[in-house]
Homo-oligomer: A and B are copies of this chain.
């Protein structure tokens, strides 16, 4: 039987099976879900065994287990490493869900459940694709390694440890991840760029204690005012980040890329509607899509100090705080940027305050050479799977895993995701389009077939150069 026919004939079984996985509330952030985490890992392992994968392991870690499996019986063919995660974000606030988060429900062609898009639904697309290949051909077209973790939503610490210790085992010709989205409903998309994320926290101290604003107001430095003036000065009037050197290493958006971005089926109107804004704002001289995907930013994520309760309190607080982050693009170096930001913050602050500047995390931007053969293979497979030409997109967000693994394993990474821009990945009513789910299984199965044509480095069997 034809592969795509087989897949189309097994929609109901696949969807039913995904439902079983989504019903497990494998929330990684909450210790009361420890048992659910174990169940989800076991579910994935059992499924991999059922598919016919070899060496299925549930690998315990200090926190949540990893699931590994491989199928390396295609000598001379390339090896693909698939990554996904079985853990999910907490579902709260529960009252904002239309149907319960762990009771998968289909409404208007959308499958609603926590994890439907991020990432169980997308993991299951790969499981269903591998199973379909096995059923139709009795084998896989390439060597496949699968790693599914349970800590993606809480920092992947133990995954990175495992990867560092298991480089040889995980060696492959390409990494395939489905944890991103499509630019618009029905438009298959390959993500070739991610922004890096560095996150900072600032504590400004102006006094050794809170002061009465009547007694001291007008005569002392107010740290909230200092914070306001600081952040006002961290952007110029054109919306550019006013940190000397911030843009020095930014790779310009080429004319070709700008044109490609303009051609995307992407509507500023949809963003406005989702945001609820009459007008979108940002750095002068760039389109919204360029601002979101190709330009770095400095954003306040939180700011607090003084009295925040009901009514009035006449206080000048001793301290004021801010959390803020920079989204970085190629070729900005997060460490260098963090230094520049800290230097500028310290330079702008008045001498009358002290400042504790913390860089909570740094993360590199990522960009893939999407002209390379593997990306063209993905494009062909997606176009076939969805019956619509695939597009290349970037994303404004960051996937620490991608850059981390890029550093650790040094293999090309293909991000083919099936989420939707409004999928509510971390919010109530998370959902996955059934059209994307089924199109995803078709595309991914075809992609594994296409990958047979990739030049093999025998990554499955011997050391990589």
Contacts and interface: CB of A to CB of B under 8 A. Distances in A.
Interface of A: 29, 154-155, 195, 197, 199, 206-222, 224-225, 227-233, 235, 271, 275-283, 288, 291-292, 295-297, 299-308, 311-318, 320-321, 323, 325, 327, 350-352, 360-361, 395-398, 421, 424-428
Contacts of A213: 299, 301, 325, 327
Given A197-B214, A276-B318, 4 more contacts: A155-B311, A219-B291, A312-B325, A314-B397
Contacts of A230: 228
A309 to B, nearest CB: 8
B279 A352 contact: yes
B304 A217 contact: no
B302 A303 contact: no
Given A227-B228, A276-B207, A217 B292 contact: yes
A270 B229 CA distance: 28
Given A220-B281, A281-B350, A305 B303 contact: yes
A397 B316 CA distance: 12
Given A233-B232, A275-B208, A216 B396 contact: yes
Contacts of A397: 212, 214-215, 314
Nearest to A294: B218
Closest 4 CB pairs of A and B: A214-B397, A208-B276, A232-B232, A302-B306
A219 B302 contact: no
Copies of this subunit: 2
B281 A301 contact: no
Contact of A217 (B299, B313, B320, B321): B299
14 contacts: A209-B427, A209-B428, A213-B299, A214-B398, A215-B292, A216-B271, A219-B292, A220-B282, A225-B300, A281-B352, A303-B303, A312-B323, A312-B325, A313-B323
Contacts of A311: 29, 154-155, 360
Nearest to A199: B312
Contact of A426 (B212, B305, B323): B212
A229 B232 CA distance: 5
Residue of A29, A155, A275, A282 most packed against chain B (CB within 10 A): A275
Contacts of A424: 209
B395 A214 contact: yes
Residue of A199, A312, A397, A427 most packed against chain B (CB within 10 A): A312
A323 B308 contact: yes
A395 B214 CA distance: 8
Contacts of A212: 397, 425-427
A219 B312 contact: no
A235 B225 contact: yes
A214 B306 CA distance: 28
A391 to B, nearest CB: 17
Contacts of A231: 224-225, 228-229, 232
A90 to B, nearest CB: 9
Nearest to A399: B214
Nearest to A324: B224
A201 B76 CA distance: 68
A327 B217 contact: yes
A280 B353 CA distance: 11
A299 B232 contact: no
A226 B315 CA distance: 22
Contacts of A361: 312
Contacts of A275: 207-209, 211, 216, 220
A313 B302 contact: yes
